[in-house]
Amino acid sequence: NAGVMQNPRHLVRRRGQEARLRCSPMKGHSHVYWYRQLPEEGLKFMVYLQKENIIDESGMPKERFSAEFPKEGPSILRIQQVVRGDSAAYFCASSAFEPINNEQFFGPGTRLTVL
Amino acid sequence: AQTVTQSQPEMSVQEAETVTLSCTYDTSESNYYLFWYKQPPSRQMILVIRQEAYKQQNATENRFSVNFQKAAKSFSLKISDSQLGDTAMYFCAFVLTQGGSEKLVFGKGTKLTVNP
């Protein structure tokens, strides 16, 4: 049973470009979470999605950031017009059940570098 | 406020010795789960141990154990017989459940170095 998959593992963008980060949850998982880790910091929650629905986006910056989890295919975190401050590691996690404090399984992360 | 505080940015220990990492948290929830995650240089987040707040017995996983003090909102991690492979960042976290949402709240981490 494959774990949570994220790609690309490393992504380099110039300021003003778009970044697309993909996450495939574990088989059978229908809940996806995105977290951002700035250098020397812990992970910070960004958004929680279920299939075709955004449940909680309270941690997402109001502009330039969006996320989706379509019925088919991976979850996508999209950052438009990237700036140097977006450089970070972005982690995806997935879980199987309704929010009853189940474990979240993490992917290996995507390290975004903005030049 | 829903926060996690790890007061030790860095720690070191000699191989085979025991080390304890501190964590305090603040939540208004009455029932919740607490976690310790390990992040080695590969940056993969690995669950080390979990504790359900309604259980008084401290969780144990092989060389890893916790000291959970609910009234004090303290959740420390003890690593016995430290190994070189334990060198990593360690993050304390709890699950915050609000309005149908669920998210992990993390501390800033403790960098642990195990010396040969």
Q: Which of A42, A95, A99 sits opposite B91 (nearest CB)?
A: A42
How far is residue B62's CA from residue B3's CA, in Å, rounded to a whole number?
A: 28
Low-confidence ranges of chain A (pLDDT < 70): 1, 97-102
Rounded to whole angstroms, the Cα distance separating A107 from B49 reads: 18
Is B107 at the interface with chain A, CB within 8 A? yes
**A42 contacts B106? CB cut-off 8 A:** yes
Nearest CA in chain A to B41: A108
The residues with which A113 forms a beta bridge, in sequence order, are A12
Looking at the complex, does the CB of residue B109 fall below 8 Å from at least one CB of chain A? yes
Which of A40, A58, A103 has the CB atom closest to B47's CB atom? A103
- From A66, A114, A107, A67, select the one nearest A88 (Cα to Cα): A114
Token pair recorded at residue A100: 């009853």
Task: Report which DSSP code applies to B86.
Answer: G
Residue B20 pLDDT level (bands cut at 50, 70, 90)? very high
Q: Chain B residues with CB inside 8 Å of A43's CB?
A: 45, 91, 93, 104, 106
Q: Where does the pLDDT of residue B96 fall: very low under 50, low under 70, confident under 90, or very high at 90 and above? A: confident
What tens digit of pLDDT does each residue of B47-90 get? 999 998 888 899 999 999 999 999 999 999 999 999 999 999 99
Chain B residue closest in CA terms to A46: B103
Choose among A42, A44, A55: nearest Cβ to B109.
A42
Quickly count: other Cβ atoms within 10 Å of residue A14's Cβ. Answer: 8
Q: Do A45 and B42 touch (CB under 8 A)?
A: no
For residue A18, the model assigns a pLDDT of: 98
Pairwise CB contact (< 8 Å): B91 & A43? yes
Contact B109 A91 (CB under 8 A): no
Q: Is residue A62 exposed (0-12), middle (13-18) or buried (19+ Cβ within 10 Å)?
A: exposed
> What does the pLDDT read at residue B97?
79
Q: Cβ contacts (< 8 Å) between A111 and chain B: which residues?
A: 43
Q: What share of chain A is helix, strand, coil (3-state, %, to 5)?
A: 5, 50, 50
8 Å CB contact of B50 and A103? yes
